[in-house]
Structure 1
């Protein structure tokens, strides 16, 4: 079965044996550990995917806000090289979170029954 390039490697393709279990394990790794305490999220992977999507998108927003204010907020408390290192961490984390959000979206769509088809490139 075809899955888009953004599909997480840790998740088996839809319709393969135990693919939903691999999706749930991966999604639980994408959210705070406290989410594991909610049985409803283990019983209903679509709910877990939805909550994971909200969590990751909120993390993206938080990273953007943190990046915008880091230099001003930290300049009086950290040496310039440390401020730059913090900004570099944000510059790395932002794209990682965006990729994660895309992957969570794909997994949620698959859990809802969507099937992916390869697009022909010219």
Structure 2
């Protein structure tokens, strides 16, 4: 029997592929990172790969919104906030962009595993 392997960047909330209940932990985690309204769609509950694809697109859209916010922050906020507040907003956008990059990697790995990819341990 081969060892259960989760690659670097795998979400800690999801068990490694082929572990007992791993798909259930993946589904729960995917729903947690998506808008709550997604839970109402039976297609997403019944087809985990479809849910994973929705999650990827949701995270990518959030990344695009974050990057837009970052690119526009100084120009859009300078008339309504002090320089310190604008700088704090820029730092928040940068932090969120980093967080979303990590989540995008995680959700991509989970989607690959749900599509059948298995990972091997590297020395």
TM over 0.5: yes
* 1:39-58 paired onto structure 2 within 5 Å: 39-58=42-61
Runs of 4+ in 1 over 6 A off after TM superposition: none
Aligned-residue Cα RMSD (Å) equals: 0.8
Q: Please list every run of 5 or more consecutive structure 1 residues that lacks an aligned counterpart in the other structure.
A: none
Alignment partner, residue 102 of structure 2: 99
Alignment partner, residue 87 of structure 2: 84
Q: Aligned to 2:62, which of 59, 62, 83?
A: 59
Alpha-carbon distance, 1:14 to partner: 1.0
Instruction: Tell me, in whole angstroms, the C-alpha distance in 1 between the residues paired with 2:66 and 2:89.
Output: 11
Instruction: Tell me, in whole angstroms, the C-alpha distance in 2 between the residues paired with 1:114 and 1:55.
Output: 22
Alignment partner, residue 115 of structure 2: 112
Query: What number of residue pairs does the alignment pair up?
Result: 120
TM (norm. structure 2) is 0.94
TM (norm. structure 1) is 0.95
Alpha-carbon distance, 1:119 to partner: 3.3
Instruction: Tell me, in whole angstroms, the C-alpha distance in 1 between the residues paired with 2:98 and 2:91.
Output: 12
Instruction: Tell me, in whole angstroms, the C-alpha distance in 1 between the residues paired with 2:17 and 2:37.
Output: 27
Alignment partner, residue 15 of structure 1: 18
Instruction: Tell me, in whole angstroms, the C-alpha distance in 2 between the residues paired with 1:118 and 1:73.
Output: 48
